Chains A and B, each alone.
Chain A
Amino acid sequence: MTFLPKPKLHHPDLPTNALGLTRRDYEGAISTLCAGCGHDSISAAIVRAVFELDLPPHRIAKLSGIGCSSKTPTYFLGAAHGFNSVHGRMPSVLTGANLANRDLIYLGVSGDGDSASIGLGQFAHAMRRGVNMVYIVENNGVYGLTKGQFSATSDKGAKSKKGVANTDSAIDLVGMALQLGATFVGRGFSGDKTQLVPLIKAALRHKGAAFIDCISPCVQFNNHVGSTKSFDYVREHNEAVNRLDFISGREEIVTEYEPGTVEVVAQHDGSLLKLRKLAADYDPHDRVSALGYLQSRTAAGEIVTGLLYVDPDAEDLHDHMGTVETPLNALTEAELCPGSAALEKLNAALR
């Protein structure tokens, strides 16, 4: 935790994006999390992803629940509105916000306690509704703010800092998201930015419910021997199924690849996902086999990462409901209020 304010001055040579903004314009307040916290790396990855996508920061709405992870939206995208809501209930608040204005980009940040314990129901229902959002769980398997209790994503047999073994089965949010109909599912590791940044970029440009489970070790309470969410453990057991490069629609693909090693997926908005295969028989478009693969590798003690599933032509909640293109919060009074004439007609029918 640092007490020094961040200097406002930019280095004159800082690179700018298409909007003429520097990376610094995408930052937020100084983090108050512990030094070395995985969550801060995720915040930095978000800053980089949004900067590189040339998105105007104020067109993003960042929402969170309660917990260490849910504090992080203060630490990125300072020009965006943020909402630190109620423990476990970010998905409903985000859903409502999305209903009100479909033109903004919704970034939900949550933790394993927030999403897998108290908020498991809301997590599930937001996935199955296809809310257009990026939902990142900063997953450290432990309650930090209340000092070290197991969370519902802690693996069975994992040891707490005090040496107590967890006896409950772990909830696998990735498996749940897949089963519940999320149309973009990925898993990253806060210690691997080269994998995480393209995942976040692709998710931001995905239409529909995009879920990223990001293993993010807690340096204070869950980074010891016996933990299955420590930096060392995750590095050792990380098995990426693919390597993702995100290419915005404007760029041309020039490099040639060996046939069968790279797949290019065009998303709804024209952006391209270039997927270099690492696991030979992994198909990120097959929800059923993805689930099977995930479970078999998890049983073998591996942590499967990468872009696990994507439906590039997904629809979102607004499509399902048939709402107008105009954001609901921008409809005019004439469009909303039927007026006295309609009421007179209705009165006549009620006599």
Chain B
Amino acid sequence: MGLLQFIKSIEPDKKKSPVLHTAYDAFFTFAYAPNTVTSGGVHMRDGMDLKRLMVHVVLAMQLCYIFGTYNIGHQHFVAQGQYLGFMDGFNLKLAHGLILMLPIFLVSHIVGLGIEFLWAAKKGHAVEEGFLVSGALIPLIMPPDIPLWILSLAVAFAVIIGKEAFGGTGMNIWNIALLARVFIFFAYPTTISGDLAWVSGYEKLVPGSAVDYGWWHTGFFNSLFSWFDWPMFKETATVVNGYSGATPLTLAYQGGWEQVTAKYSESQMLWGAIPGSIGETNKIFIVLGALFLIITKVASFRIMLSMVLGAIGGTLILNVWGATPFMEVTWYQHFLMGSFLFAMAFMATDPVTASSTNTGKWIYGASIGFIGIIVRVINPAYPEGWMLAILFVNTFAPLIDHYVLEANIKKRLQSA
């Protein structure tokens, strides 16, 4: 094993440069499964470890990543009134998507992992894998035009205050990815709410407003595309007359399902060629990801199922109430709009912040589903509820577990 010996030979000294050593250790254990053997206790261990677990969650998101990146570009050109067919202008849409997506992805990982590495070196333990998933989730729940400095602040806040302050991976109370998003939501609300946030590449999202292209568009990609004689980015393009970037939820809030379907067809919402956070628009790919997580038993089907049931329950109650057109939207229509499915598949199922007892998981999921729908429909400021509902129920997850355990203890004492 020449490679292994070479890698071993460049190992930095742990005492002299702890940060370097921590980074080396993180990358080395990534490349090579360590040679440690069991001692005391069991002699044989299951092949599953935290790295494998986390990477399977990341794998489950890959379709959302590919679609989300392309959809950034698609929405950009829909606002211009150009290339309205989904596959038209493929190179431009993909290029525009990558120009926005790659920096978001890199910044979220560099900031988050950087803090993790420094913290691990300071505390003298190995880098834990928790941020693999958080770092992959954060780009998917951001608007494409998010300023990178805001993103950095949010990630740093989530990792330091949300995770390291509590003791690292496995100890946090709130979902890290959602904490990053909620930070932006409250600190810089205009960048992440309203109709204007979800379509990228314009100074303002009003008809006549000019595109906001940088060097990557006009310099790099345009010269590349001119080589192949492909369509190029036009710096003179403007937002087309009569365009509005309203998301289905905004429309539903204004005028119920009828107003939504006036603009978006059901299949459009299902396939996700609509404005929204980067990763949450394509419902088919999210459901495929969720099925992958359920079949591999990486995420709890209890949470997903109970969250669906809770949301249906909440919708039915609102349907009966029916005070506004939004309240009359049925449950499957709710599932087509907004980020319900994404939150269900990837956010609520975080095992650290969810309830840890199986009974608790049913209560936990159902509460999220119920509260989330209520917030979505009744909150006048912002027609979406999953982020707040999940963080809210995260807070109560230990309490739910406490009562489940108390019931177990009580039963044991009673039958004595």
B partners with A: no
A→B interface (CB under 8 Å) = none
B→A interface (CB under 8 Å) = none
